[in-house]
Amino acid sequence: MTTRTRATAFIAICLVVIGGTATYLVSRGSASDDQAAMAVTAPPTTDISSVNTVPRIVFRNSVIGPDYGKIAVVALSDPAGPRALLATTCDRVSATAEATICLQSQG
């Protein structure tokens, strides 16, 4: 195999790799556009009194939007149901039947 043949083969391999990479990046970019178009909608909300009298789950709301980070409460019997959002924003939250602890970072 001559040097010229080797150089031609190397260039051909490089072109195939670059073309494959470009194709992958273009297809991946359109897939992420599709995911952004299918953004998660915020679950329905309710008043705290409707979930405060039943066994409940207390957690930090992670739905992107104005209520991100607030304490959320849902009925244990319906975890996908409407959530009550409190005004308090936390980095972490922990709750018992008697008390709720909200950890906030100091900037």
Residue type at 72 in one-letter notation: A
- Give domain limits for the chain: 1-39, 48-103
Confidence (pTM): 0.60
Identify the DSSP state of 100. Answer: E
Span 77-94, average pLDDT = 92
pLDDT digits (tens, 9 = 90+) for 33-66: 555 555 667 788 889 888 888 999 999 999 988 9
pLDDT digits (tens, 9 = 90+) for 10-32: 999 998 989 888 888 888 876 55
DSSP-based three-state secondary structure for 45: strand
Q: Show the 3-state SS of 51-84.
A: HHCCCEEEEECCCCCCCCCEEEEEECCCCCCCEE
Q: What is the pLDDT of residue 35?
A: 58
